[in-house]
């Protein structure tokens, strides 16, 4: 399509409204412009096509034969445009809110709370993907990502969801065997005290490796048992098999119910969970989920 051959869409829209309503004044009210603007658009089209498109008819106006043919085609075309826009908006409104996050956060924090969300917002469907890699939100079609790090993702908007607390945890019986005062709030000192223990890690656990590297520690220097998922790590840790490092948000329920205890904590870590999204306005359903998420994480 060569748009140079097509007159101004504003002029075409004005003409279609005047032909359909039979009045420049009614068309002006419908399009929220002046009577003079409608008349000028019609004159511009008549000059472009080199023929009369509109004629006087009593107190109003009526299209000529050529104008009637153009008005019919324009009505059909604008109807197609309006239908396409409505379909796109409706499809966007009806589809689930799509969220990608780490397996640790999904299984330890988000999944146990989904029932709470749907109890409060049964009209909002969710699609949750748990993966260690950082997805391209635009390419992969996600509305939101919940990711762990410093909050620095170029080209994306972020908001911090959790306090920057990192904890080394173990079962109560392991803490008793170690003795000493817990927790230790000095990360490097804590690692020296815990270095000889068996560490339980998920090879895909971005949280664990980010914490170690942020502290200048080589993960390979620790004796570690690698398990496939963080839920497996937590299950083994609860049984007394070793020590694990976790964001506090992931183990809050375990700490509150006594299944795990804190051996060391870095309260001033630069790392935290962040909500990440593309710049621009959010659809209403996405806003609903974001508001619930922020309220829930603030509790």
User: For 63-99, what is each residue's pLDDT tens digit?
Assistant: 999 999 999 999 888 888 876 766 666 555 567 899 9
More confident residue, 225 or 184: 225
Query: In the predicted model, is pLDDT for residue 183 greater than 60?
Result: no
What is the rounded distance in angstroms from the CA atom of residue 243 to the CA atom of residue 260? 10
Length of the chain: 299
The answer to whether 233 touches 227, Cβ cutoff 8 Å, is yes
What is the rounded distance in angstroms from the CA atom of residue 282 to the CA atom of residue 286? 6
Q: What is the mean pLDDT of the chain?
A: 83
Helix (H) or strand (E) run with residue 226 in it:
strand 224-226
pLDDT at 93: 59
Q: Which domains does the chain have, with CATH numbers?
A: 3-94 (1.10.10.10), 97-163+272-298 (3.40.190.10), 166-266 (3.40.190.10)
What is the rounded distance in angstroms from the CA atom of residue 231 to the CA atom of residue 106? 10
What is the rounded distance in angstroms from the CA atom of residue 180 to the CA atom of residue 146? 36
Angle at 288 between CA 283 and CA 293, to 5 degrees: 125
pLDDT at 184: 53
According to DSSP, the β-strands at 126-130 and 97-101 are: parallel
The answer to whether 8 touches 42, Cβ cutoff 8 Å, is no
| Confidence grade of residue 281 (pLDDT, cut at 50, 70, 90) | confident
Phi, psi (deg, nearest 5) at residue 96: -65, 150
pLDDT at 250: 84
What is the rounded distance in angstroms from the CA atom of residue 265 to the CA atom of residue 166? 6
| Confidence grade of residue 14 (pLDDT, cut at 50, 70, 90) | very high
Q: Which two tokens stand for residue 232?
A: 């497996």
Query: In the predicted model, is pLDDT for residue 168 greater than 60?
Result: yes
pLDDT at 258: 93
């Amino acid at each position: 399509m060569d748009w140079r051959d097509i007159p101004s869409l504003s002029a075409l829209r004005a003409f279609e409204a005047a032909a359909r309503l039979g009045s420049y004044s009614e068309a002006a009210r419908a399009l929220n412009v002046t009577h003079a603007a409608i008349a000028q658009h019609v004159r511009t089209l008549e000059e472009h096509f080199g023929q009369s498109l509109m004629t006087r008819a009593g107190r109003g106006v009526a299209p000529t034969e050529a104008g009637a043919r153009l008005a019919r085609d324009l009505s059909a075309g604008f109807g197609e445009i309006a239908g396409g826009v409505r379909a796109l908006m409706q499809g966007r409104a009806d589809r689930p809110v799509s969220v990608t996050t780490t397996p640790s956060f999904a299984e330890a924090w988000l999944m146990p709370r989904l029932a709470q969300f749907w109890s409060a917002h049964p009209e909002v469907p969710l699609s949750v993907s748990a993966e260690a890699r950082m997805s391209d939100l635009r390419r992969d079609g996600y509305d939101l990502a919940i990711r762990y790090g410093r909050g620095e993702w170029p080209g994306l908007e972020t908001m911090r969801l959790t306090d920057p607390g990192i904890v080394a945890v173990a079962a109560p019986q392991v803490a008793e065997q170690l003795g000493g005062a817990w927790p230790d709030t000095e990360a490097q000192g804590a690692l020296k005290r815990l270095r000889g223990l068996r560490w339980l890690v998920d090879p895909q656990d971005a949280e664990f490796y980010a914490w170690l590297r942020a502290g200048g520690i080589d993960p390979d220097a620790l004796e570690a048992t690698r398990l496939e998922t963080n839920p497996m790590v937590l299950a083994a840790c609860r049984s007394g098999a070793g020590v694990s490092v976790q964001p506090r948000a992931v183990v809050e329920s375990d700490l509150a119910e006594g299944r795990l205890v804190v051996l060391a904590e870095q309260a001033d870590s630069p790392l935290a969970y962040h909500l990440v999204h593309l710049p621009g306005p959010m659809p209403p359903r996405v806003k609903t989920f974001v508001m619930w998420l922020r309220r829930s994480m603030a509790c």
